[in-house]
């Protein structure tokens, strides 16, 4: 399938964008530590019946490094990309699909630009969890995990899957994301577009030991909290961990197709 590749320059960074497919316009936003190359399978499946725009956030994939990595900085990347479909002459507002941090960015964007999206599909993110994930008790484990991840990332340097952020920057962002999610219900209240959520049943893995059970319970509690307040949100649960977008592409694509005609219906 032919794709059109171009770049957007804003805020001192270069954002690579790819567009391909035909049908309803859609913008796919990756999350922290993920790139459009990582989302290639899902994007290709969606391009069978959608005109899909994908891109890399600053410091990810083929995007350039930046002097700041914050939620607002990443949101500015999405804002810059969302300004592009209009200049490309798309005849309708796109559906905005976000994964993990990308889902949080999508909710904030839609709350601020309600006429610019036709609907939202949120994949394992934008969750108003009742408790923060990063606490003093788990800080050493998370720091060690991200230091290990940063070391593994060295092998991807110079490729479409690279992540240029340091372990400390990733840790700081996760602390910030906890704070953002503590206030995200206010953002949902400003959105009057159809919203679907595709969530993992075991976001922290299926281990019965360690922190995983508490994290998974917190994750489900956040979604239940949201749906109690916003019962029109369609929710779908996949038997997977937080990497569901990489492991369950066909199922996610099928759910997204189903929601285009049945938004507002929840699934078990």
- Is the pLDDT confidence value at 35 over 80? yes
Residues paired with 200 in a beta bridge: 238
Residue 158 lies in a domain: yes
Q: Can you tell me the distance from the alpha carbon of 159 to that of 37, in angstroms, rounded to the nearest whole number?
A: 9
Q: Please give the radius of gyration of the chain, using alpha carbons only, rounded to the nearest integer.
A: 17
Q: What pLDDT band is residue 84 in, cutting at 50, 70 and 90? A: confident
Residue 58 lies in a domain: yes
Among 136, 151, 122, 140, which Cα is nearest to 219's? 122
pLDDT at 262: 41
CA 213 to chain centre: 23
Contact 198, 245 (CB under 8 A): no
Residue 101 lies in a domain: yes
- Is the pLDDT confidence value at 2 over 90? no
- Is the pLDDT confidence value at 14 over 50? yes
pLDDT at 264: 33
Instruction: Taking residues 198-207, report their average pLDDT.
Output: 95
Residue 268 lies in a domain: no
Q: What pLDDT band is residue 91 in, cutting at 50, 70 and 90? A: confident
pLDDT digits (tens, 9 = 90+) for 101-128: 999 999 999 999 989 999 999 999 999 9
Q: What pLDDT band is residue 137 in, cutting at 50, 70 and 90? A: confident
Q: Which two tokens stand for residue 55?
A: 């891109």
Q: Can you tell me the distance from the alpha carbon of 242 to that of 256, in angstroms, rounded to the nearest whole number?
A: 18
Q: Can you tell me the distance from the alpha carbon of 234 to that of 128, in angstroms, rounded to the nearest whole number?
A: 16
Residue 220 lies in a domain: yes
- Give start and end residues of each alpha helix (H) in the chain: 40-46, 71-87, 101-112, 139-153, 167-182, 184-188, 212-229, 244-247, 249-262
Residues paired with 99 in a beta bridge: 123
CA 229 to chain centre: 22
Q: Which residue segment(s) compose the domain that 55 sits in? A: 3-262
Q: Is the dihedral of CA 122, 125, 126, 127 positive or negative?
A: positive
Q: What pLDDT band is residue 261 in, cutting at 50, 70 and 90? A: low
212: left (phi over 0), alpha (psi -120 to 50) or beta: alpha
Residue 84 lies in a domain: yes
To the nearest whole percent, how much of the chain has pLDDT over 90?
A: 81
Q: Which two tokens stand for residue 15?
A: 């954002």
What is the DSSP-derived secondary structure letter of residue 235?
Answer: E
Q: Can you tell me the distance from the alpha carbon of 136 to that of 182, in angstroms, rounded to the nearest whole number?
A: 17
The structural domain count of the chain equals 1
Report the DSSP pairing between strands 3-10 and 13-21: antiparallel
CA 251 to chain centre: 17
Note the pTM of the prediction, 2 decimals.
0.95
Looking up residue 156, the CATH number of its domain turns out to be: 3.40.50.1820
Q: What pLDDT band is residue 266 in, cutting at 50, 70 and 90? A: very low
**Please, what is the end-to-end C-alpha distance for the chain in angstroms?**
34
Residue 267 lies in a domain: no
What is the DSSP-derived secondary structure letter of residue 60?
Answer: B
Least confidently predicted of 134-143, 164-173, 174-183: 134-143
pLDDT at 13: 98
- Is the pLDDT confidence value at 129 over 90? yes
Among 93, 94, 120, 124, which Cα is nearest to 107's? 120
Instruction: Taking residues 159-180, report their average pLDDT.
Output: 95
- Is the pLDDT confidence value at 268 over 60? no
pLDDT at 259: 84
CA 147 to chain centre: 22
| Percent helix, strand and coil across the chain, each to the nearest 5 | 45, 20, 40
Instruction: Taking residues 76-99, report their average pLDDT.
Output: 86
Residue-averaged pLDDT of the chain:
92
């Amino acid at each position: 399938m032919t794709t059109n590749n171009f770049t957007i320059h804003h805020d001192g960074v270069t954002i690579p964008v790819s567009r391909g497919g035909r049908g309803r316009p859609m913008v796919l936003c990756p999350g922290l530590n993920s790139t459009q190359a990582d989302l290639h399978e899902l994007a290709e499946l969606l391009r069978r019946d959608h005109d899909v725009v994908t891109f890399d956030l600053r410091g990810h994939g083929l995007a350039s490094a930046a002097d700041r990595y914050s939620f607002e900085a990443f949101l500015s990347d999405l804002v810059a990309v969302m300004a592009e479909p209009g200049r490309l002459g798309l005849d309708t507002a796109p559906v905005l699909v976000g994964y993990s941090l990308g889902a949080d960015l999508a909710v904030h964007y839609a709350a601020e630009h309600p006429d610019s999206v036709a609907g939202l599909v949120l994949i394992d993110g934008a969750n108003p969890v009742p408790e923060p994930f990063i606490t003093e008790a788990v800080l050493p484990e998370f720091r060690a995990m991200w230091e290990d991840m940063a070391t593994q990332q060295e092998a991807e340097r110079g490729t479409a899957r690279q992540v240029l952020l340091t372990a400390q920057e990733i840790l700081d962002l996760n602390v910030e994301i906890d704070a953002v999610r503590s206030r995200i219900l206010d953002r949902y209240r400003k959105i009057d577009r159809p919203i679907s959520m595709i969530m993992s049943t075991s976001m922290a893995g299926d281990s019965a030991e360690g922190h995983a059970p508490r994290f998974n319970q917190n994750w489900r509690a956040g979604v239940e909290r949201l749906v109690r307040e916003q019962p029109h949100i369609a929710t779908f649960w996949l038997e997977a961990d937080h990497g569901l977008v990489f492991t369950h592409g066909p199922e996610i694509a099928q759910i997204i197709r189903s929601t285009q005609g049945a938004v507002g219906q929840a699934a078990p």
